[in-house]
Amino acid sequence: MRHFVPSRVYVEKGCESYKLGRTLIQKYTDMGIDIIDIDNHNKIPELRERPDADFSKLKDYLVLGIRKSLTHQKNNKTSDFLVPYTSSGCAAMCLYCYLVCTYYTSAYLRIFVNREEMMSKLKRAADKYPGSVFEIGSNSDLVLENTVSGNLEWTILQFSEVDNARLTLPTKFSMVDSLLNLPHGGNVTIRMSLNPQEIISHVEFGTSKLDDRIEALNKLYAAGYDTGILVAPIIMADGYRQMYERLFAKMADKLLPGIQSSVALELIFMTYGTVTQNINEQAFPNAWNLHDKETMAFCGRSRYGYKKDTKEQASEFFRDRIKHYMPEATIAYIV
Ligand code: SF4
């Protein structure tokens, strides 16, 4: 997916009061795309009534809304705060997508047009909690969203004047060219999520190819961005050791030396929600079944995860192969 073009746009009342709202409404009107007025981006009855089998059709739609809750949540992983930011949901369709557990079939892309309010709150929080890292991409993929809204470019420019805090975001997309020449101030970390191409092809529908993600990461690094790499989510499908071995060999071959010597890899094993599984069975009946009864067990809140001993054995394999292919890289964590 290079640029997402929706087949239909739902617009919450009040969006036209915001500059970005007016710009997007005009853009899609000019393109002849159907615009449908709605009262509330959280309650679109005609979409809620659609069967699970329509999941991929719903992903073709775009919803414009106004984000009401701007509360930052404390976090203790790679950031200090999780920030509800300019979008939720996504136009891609990864079979394990964690957002589906939250939004169910309404995991389509929603863009919130009141970005100035979100940025003001971010800047106030940066002043209040100096040195903090704010995760702005936990509800969406901001590189993909940027192709619709330009919000990531806008964010990087707006935040470049902040010298006492950082932003971080993960992505599975390669459309970063518009970010490269921005005066970014060095306070944004873009973490590329990598997986073997076989997994991308069979599981991460609509996302960028592995080669393109690696190329994008190299470009970001060369443009002075702080970069990171997630090997995530690790999916222990048949032949996973060979697939991940090829991935690490490719990373060693293609990633710039500066990335390999400085990166702290985040390795995250997949967990799989029962809600997501139910939707996948209806929407993608011929796709890979990610639930393996032999190696997975319930890990709380309607999710399956790999069993402890399975994960431990696999973790050993990953540590060993990473050391072999990228001896200077470190592993930030494996979960
Ligand atoms: S790219 Fe991220 S947000 Fe989009 S479907 Fe995949 S996992 Fe979900």
Q: What are 204-232's pLDDT values in tens digits?
A: 999 999 999 999 999 999 999 999 999 99
**pLDDT at residue 287 in the model:** 98
CB 312: neighbour CB atoms within 10 A?
Answer: 11
Task: Determine the Cα–Cα distance for residues 20 and 138; give it in Å rounded to an integer.
Answer: 22
**pLDDT at residue 334 in the model:** 97
Domain ranges of the chain: 8-334
Q: What is the mean pLDDT of residues 185-209?
A: 97
Q: Which of 62, 139, 191, 204 to mutate to test the pocket of ligand 1 (most atoms within 8 A of CB)?
A: 204
Task: Determine the Cα–Cα distance for residues 38 and 288; give it in Å rounded to an integer.
Answer: 36
**Cα 327 to ligand 1 centre (Å):** 30
**pLDDT at residue 77 in the model:** 79
**Cα 231 to ligand 1 centre (Å):** 14
Residue 22's Cβ-side half-sphere holds a number of Cα atoms within 13 Å equal to 4
Could you read off the pLDDT of 65-81 as tens digits, one per residue?
Answer: 999 999 999 998 789 99
236 contacts: CB under 8 Å, gap ≥ 6: 269, 270, 292, 295, 306, 310, 314
Could you read off the pLDDT of 248-293 as tens digits, one per residue?
Answer: 999 999 999 999 999 999 999 999 999 999 999 999 999 999 999 9
Task: Determine the Cα–Cα distance for residues 37 and 215; give it in Å rounded to an integer.
Answer: 40
Q: How far is CA 39 from the centre of its chain?
A: 27
Nearest atom within ligand 1 for CA of residue 96:
7
Task: Determine the Cα–Cα distance for residues 5 and 144; give it in Å rounded to an integer.
Answer: 11
**pLDDT at residue 192 in the model:** 98
**pLDDT at residue 184 in the model:** 94
pTM of the model: 0.97
Residue the block writes with tokens 């500066």: 258
Under CATH, what is the fold of the domain 8-334?
pyruvate-formate lyase- activating enzyme (3.80.30)
Residues within a 6 A CB radius of ligand 1: 90, 92-94, 97, 99, 140-141, 172, 204, 207
State whether residue 328 is helix, strand or coil: coil
Nearest atom within ligand 1 for CA of residue 92:
5
Q: What is the mean pLDDT of the chain?
A: 97
**pLDDT at residue 78 in the model:** 85
Q: What is the mean pLDDT of residues 70-99?
A: 95
Q: What is the mean pLDDT of residues 116-129?
A: 97
Task: Determine the Cα–Cα distance for residues 147 and 174; give it in Å rounded to an integer.
Answer: 11
**pLDDT at residue 3 in the model:** 85
**pLDDT at residue 223 in the model:** 98
Could you read off the pLDDT of 26-60 as tens digits, one per residue?
Answer: 999 999 999 999 999 999 999 999 999 999 999 99
208 contacts: CB under 8 Å, gap ≥ 6: 1, 172, 173, 174, 175, 216
**Cα 97 to ligand 1 centre (Å):** 5
Confidence of residue 1 (pLDDT cuts 50, 70, 90): low
**pLDDT at residue 65 in the model:** 98
